[in-house]
Amino acid sequence: MRLTGTAALLAVWLVSASACSPSAPAPEAPAPAAPTSPAAATPPAPDVSKLPAGAYKLDPSHASLTFKVNHLGFAFYTAQFQDFRADLQLDPANPAAASVKAEIDVSSLLLPHPPEGFKDELLGPDWLGAAQTPKMTFVSTGINMTGPATADITGDLTLKGVTQPVTLHATFNGGYEGHPQDPNARIGFSAHGVLKRSAFGVSLGIPAPGSTMGVFDDVEIEIEAEFTGPALAGAAPPV
């Protein structure tokens, strides 16, 4: 649109004034909003509708029992027990009523590249006391469901003749009622927990207050376990 007369003069004056005046600072752009993470979706509970109730036994070829303890505040020393057994009584329709018993062979301790004599020291009376009490046991005393597929399993752990309560935080990963290649029901769990070794009379080497010089008191436990249960109805026995 063409400007004429007074409007044109006014337009020229405004343009000239703006060209001769110092430019006003551009308004500061608003800081970009921090990205927001989508709310973590709660995974659906595994389908247990076809799983049979009854006795389930640990499959040792699909299980691991690992523990780790802080060394000098520098790293976590990690080891495991190779020989352990567990029996589970489970009704998938009422998981809070389940019970589990486990037994660990203390002498099955497996260490990463142990120095000469180190394993014997750990199995000795100052540490695990394998000769005096060769078995470690866990017997559940209660199960508190914390989600569709998670639970806190409380129980009594006995080590070196001392029994103390321990809580394991467990996740049910799924299962099936069986199939032709594996005719028994199968279920799988992951679990973790923390215990104080001093509660079981294993106090050697715990750092003094305010120090990290030693092996810490907290022992972290990690468990992966599959259990086999009742046979699939009508399944042929394995050849």
What's the one-letter identity of residue 121? Answer: E
Return the CATH number at 205: 2.40.128.110
Longest dimension (CA), the chain: 111
Specify if 207 maps to a domain.
yes
Is residue 211 situated within a structural domain?
Answer: yes
Main-chain phi, psi angles of 13, to 5 degrees: -65, -40
Q: Which residue has the tokens 């927990």?
A: 193
What are the backbone angles phi and psi of residue 98, rounded to the nearest 5°?
Answer: -70, 160
Handedness of CA 175, 189, 90, 169 (dihedral sign): negative
Q: Does residue 204 form part of some domain?
A: yes
| Whole-number Cα distances in Å, 93 to 46, 58, 166 | 12, 20, 25
Q: pLDDT 10s digit of each residue in the chain, 239 long?
A: 333 333 333 233 333 333 333 444 444 555 555 555 555 556 567 778 889 999 999 999 999 999 999 999 999 999 999 999 999 999 999 999 999 999 999 999 999 999 999 999 999 999 999 999 999 999 999 999 999 999 999 999 999 999 999 999 999 999 999 988 899 999 999 999 999 999 999 999 999 999 999 999 999 999 999 999 999 876 655 54
Task: Please report, for the chain, how many H helices and E strands are present, in that order.
Answer: 2, 10
Has residue 219 been placed in a domain? Answer: yes
Does a structural domain hold residue 37? Answer: no
13 is a domain residue: no
Helix then strand then coil, in percent of the chain rounded to 5, is 15, 45, 40
pLDDT of 122: 97
Rounded to an integer, what distance in angstroms lies between the CA atom of residue 183 and that of residue 51? 12
| Torsional class of 143: left (φ above 0), alpha (ψ -120 to 50), beta (otherwise) | beta
For residue 114, is it within any domain? Answer: yes
Residue 120: which domain range? Answer: 56-231
